[in-house]
Amino acid sequence: MRNIKMTIEYDGGRYHGWQRLGDTDKTIQGKIENVLSQLTGTEVEIVGSGRTDAGTHAKGQVANFKTESDMDLSAMQDVLIKNLPQDIIVKKLEEVPERFHSRYHASGKQYSYYVWNQTIPSAFERNYSFHYPEQLDMKKMGKAAGKLTGRHDFLGFSALKKSKKSTVRKLDKITIEKEGDMVHFTFIGEGFLYKMVRILTGTLLEIGTGTLELDAIDEVFETGVRSDAGMAVPSQGLFLDEVYYD
């Protein structure tokens, strides 16, 4: 039995997210599993490093699957590229130790969020960014990013109602860069809760416009109340850039 690690790039715009669903074939996991099962002649189940929401994109999603197929990996990659939709690309296949698990062994992730910060929308960027025309105070957002980094309970910055598992996470770094009319947010951390990146981005934007004050961050950490944080920005501006392994 071989254990194969996959690095995958996809445009999530027309999919219902990563996770396979019983009532639709419009998922990333489902599309890849269908092709692999046909290719190997046996039912294949792939394990992703984590779920991405409907409409979210990935430049470096990682998954793994086990197979008894002895097919050369470069030939397998060719078949996957030819038979998957053009908006799902398997960038790399590699054989890994039998115990490797793409989710349990991940030590961190990097996400990007893109905001088109111009009064006029963009016909070309609309599927890969959030149009937010308000004037932003970059310095104030930088201060807010500093408050958000570190180890905190991020329950109030997630869409979880409550959780039996710990909602404490370590956020290592947030960068905010303005490149022309595009504002690029980068988040690096050990793990992220449901919709956490989208809510953190919305909170930073609302602090940047003065809708929220910096103190709101401390309040959310103390109370864990979702409504005290900023909006959840739309999914089309979100990218999973990379998954880290020790």
Residues with catalytic roles? 53
Q: Looking at the chain, list the stretches that DSSP marks H as alpha helix, in order from N- to C-terminal side.
A: 28-40, 73-83, 138-148, 196-209, 215-223
**Which residues, including other chains, have CB under 8 Å from residue 156's CB and lie 6 or more apart?**
220, 221, 223, 224, 225, 226, 228, 229
3-state secondary structure 23-66: CECCCHHHHHHHHHHHHHCCCCCCEECCCCCCCCEEEEEEEEEE
Lookup: tokens for 230:
């900023």
Nearest to 50 by CA among 58, 42, 40: 58
Angle at 72 between CA 70 and CA 73, to 5 degrees: 110
In whole angstroms, give the CA distance from residue 232 to residue 54.
14
Long-range CB pairs of 128-132, under 8 A, 24+ apart, other chains included:
128/57, 128/236, 128/237, 128/239, 129/182, 129/236, 129/237, 130/233, 130/234, 130/236, 130/237, 132/205, 132/233
